[in-house]
Amino acid sequence: MRLDELHTGDTAIIVKILGHGAFRKRMIEMGFVKGHEVKVLLHAPLHDPIKYSIMGYEISLRRAEAHLVEVMPVDIDKNEDASDAALNDTASDNSKKDTNEFHKRRKTINVALVGNPNCGKTSLFNIASGAREHVGNYSGVTVDAKQGKFNHRGYTFNIVDLPGTYSLASYSPEELYVRKYLKEETPDVIINVVVASNLERNLYLTTELIDMDRSMVIALNMYDELKRRGDNLDFRLLGEMIGVPVVPTVSRTGEGISALFDTVIDVYEGRDEAVRHIHVPLGEDIEKGVNIIKDELKKDDHIGRHFSPRYLAIKLLERDREVEDEIKKLPDGNAILSSRDRELQRIETVCKDDASSVIADEKYGFIAGALAETLVKGEGNSEDSTRIIDAFVTNKLFGFPVFILIMFAIFWATFEIGAYPMEWIESLVGWISSVVQKLMPDGALKDLIADGIIGGVGGVIVFLPNILILYFCISFMEDSGYMARAAFIMDKLMHRIGLHGKSFIPLIMGFGCNVPAIMSSRSIESRSSRIITILINPFMSCSARLPIYVLLVGTFFEKHAALVFLGLYLLGVLVAMATAKLLRTFWFKTDETPFVMELPPYRIPTLKASLRHMWGKGEQYLKKMGGVILVASIIVWALDYFPLHDKTADVATVETVAGDNEINPKTDSYLEMAGKFVNPVMEPLGFHWRASVAALAGVPAKEIVVSTLGVLYTGDEEAEDSALSARITAPNPNTGLPDFTAAAALSFMIFILLYCPCTATVIAIVKETGSWKYGLFSVVYNTAVAWLAAFIAYRIMLLI
């Protein structure tokens, strides 16, 4: 019987994995090992993927992947007999370092944080180093190494937060990055962060680090969850058994962090009694092959420079491609690989299974044996709340409505709640502008300050409350664990466009900022899926576009603000999905990767963490006020102010010859001439030349669009209402009609939503794809799509 044939609530024993290659290895590493129980929890709203429970955690698979798992149905009340794996311990030959040398100079310890995704590494990094990296309750948040520095007990710690990884294989970019870092940087101490409430799965990575024979401390993170459900763990005995000191921590609150780094110092100085080198026993057949290959490797004096020969021997038996490539470079590389091939044939003949499966099975047996001696399970079940919530948010009837309702609530809060502080800031900016108008003498300096700086920067800073509210909501969703559920319920739709649910997370992150969202696409194993995700990410409406929406939606669609907001964001998603389908159909060949993604338990985000992330983004926004937007506002003002013309000229006579959209060097500024030059292309979209200029100014950074409008629509000192919304709806003296109407406003917002990405995003696309062609494609294709969509929307609005 196959796994996908089970019904909700059924339990079965895993017999074997029928797939091959990377898929088979990933499934084994995630816990799909023969002899283990797996339970069907629920099906996605569209019956695909399916949520399972295995080894104490929850995971989702597509039906196609589940079909490759052969299972045997069992009764729920089946008794399990835990078997103890023998520990083959050897004495440690690591001598204590001479501490006298460290008294002569500054003591520095290089520490690397290594652990599974969603284990709390980044939280620990933040609280230890004081950094402000964002922590999301789903895998793939940390896509690059984050570095920090702090002092503790007279020591300087250089701490690095490495990407989350389930193993040290050569399967995903994260795994390769972590292994490369450990190889090239050689940190003094590794802090292996494990989830206390899910030790069996988390300790698999620990066994690989033990194989490396590196100095290590285990941070038993989220220890409060283990105690809350009534479990009792003898962590000191566990540390003695595996030769690695174990320290309970709660990185969310900071509990145990000081003790953790005390232990790091002791390990670094070689005085922790729990430290000893052991070999994770792999069974007689595997050990024989490991020893033969290890002896071959030891013949090369340089082979153990970065990794232990035992670790490399094990990786060769697992057919690790990167290790194979390194061995091929050795003088005796071919002989070593030939020896490996002979051992593989012997092992797989005797065991009647591939070596990778046997090694994984033995390691999980070692973990089970160690936990049988140290862990006593309580009667509490902390997963009940997660399952109850999932019964609603991933239900086939309620899943999509709940998701849309949550997004609608976020946009409603962003607009409605943010309107009050926005009005206060707008009034303050207006008051400052009026003071400058009254106190300063007429001249270019007064116009620069009043129209350029205050009109430009002030026109954008009023939207700071909306930005903060949006980031707070997105941060809360990420930290709570709901983001992974969004990927789960969206997988079926994503699959139809050639992607999978894991691509949905970078797209959601794009609502904050496209640049880090594009970087987070590194967690997608398939190159073609990763590139498609990167190319469609700019269609996600980043927060830089939010001030434009708030301005125009509040001016023209105030009664239906939340719906228009939601419609704009959904339009970006729909265009992204259509583009992905086109790219998969006409450019990239089908490249399926298994949908294997952890569904973490729900956690209540701390207010401090959410506010810290919110303010971190707000701080970046304010820095842009004093940097890019200030400079851009001054440049736009100068281009709009010059060249100076004779004010006594008969402007009226000139205007009878030159229309509002016709270039007139005698009266037009440089900016007006540029706007009118390109406006014939934009006029079918309902754009006035000022709107065209604002769109052009937004190419470097989308935040500049509103500041440009603020500069272009200032200067009327007698205007009763200084608000930008009032100025853009005032009649144009040349045409007698306002430059912006409801139709033009909607067309403008859609164009800004879809047209070419900002400069930083284009650079990120080129960097992550490794080709400037993809950056150029994004600029040209997105702009063409934006023009067409804005044209259609404008014409429809005119008919309405």
Q: Tens digits of per-residue pLDDT, 428-459?
A: 877 887 888 788 887 778 777 876 677 667 76
Longest dimension (CA), the chain: 101
Chain CA centroid to CA 760, Å:
17
DSSP SS3 for 195: strand
Alpha carbons 276 and 752: distance in angstroms, whole number:
61
Cis, peptide link before residue 49, omega less than 30° from 0: yes
Q: Which of 229-243, 373-387, 609-623 has the highest mean pLDDT?
A: 229-243
Nearest-10 crossing angle of helices 199-212, 309-317: 120
Average pLDDT of the chain is 79
Q: At which residue do the structure tokens 């001054």 appear?
A: 634
647 pLDDT above the threshold of 60: no
For residue 534, pLDDT beyond 70: yes
- DSSP bridge pairs for 216: 190
Token duo for residue 361: 């099975």
SS3 40: strand
Q: What is the structure's pLDDT at 207?
A: 92
In sequence order, the 6+-apart residues with CB closer than 8 A to the CB of 430 are: 722, 723
Per-residue DSSP letter, 198: G
CA–CA gap between residue 41 and residue 735 (Å, rounded): 65
Residue 571: pLDDT band with limits 50, 70, 90: very high
Assign 96 a pLDDT band (cuts: 50, 70, 90).
Answer: very low
Helices 546-556, 704-712: axis angle to 10 degrees equals 50
At 755 the pLDDT is 92
Which residue carries 């310890």 as its tokens? 109
Instruction: Identify the three-state secondary structure at position 225.
Output: helix
Amino acid identity of residue 789, one-letter, is: A
pLDDT at 92: 40
Give the position of tokens 């990094």. 125
Residue 547's contacts (CB-CB under 8 Å, 6 or more residues apart) are 460, 462, 463, 466, 467, 703, 705, 706
Per DSSP, the three-state class of 155 is strand
The pLDDT of 530-540, averaged and rounded, is 90
Q: Identify the pLDDT of residue 430.
A: 77
- pTM, rounded to two decimals: 0.64
Residues of the chain with pLDDT > 90, as a percent, come to 12
Lowest mean pLDDT among 180-184, 217-221, 605-609: 605-609
Q: How confident is residue 28, by pLDDT bands cut at 50, 70 and 90?
A: confident
Helix, strand, or coil (residue 533): helix
Is the pLDDT at 498 greater than 80? The verdict is: no
Name, in order, each residue with C-beta under 8 angstroms of 65's C-beta and a sequence gap of 6 or more. 19, 23, 27, 594, 595, 596
Report pLDDT for 668: 66
Q: Closest Cα to residue 304, out of 204, 244, 214, 169?
A: 214
Among candidates 208, 44, 83, 20, which has minimal Cα distance to 594? 20
Alpha helix ranges (H) inside 375-497: 384-393, 399-412, 418-439, 444-447, 455-461, 464-480, 482-496
Q: Tokens for 613?
A: 């992330």
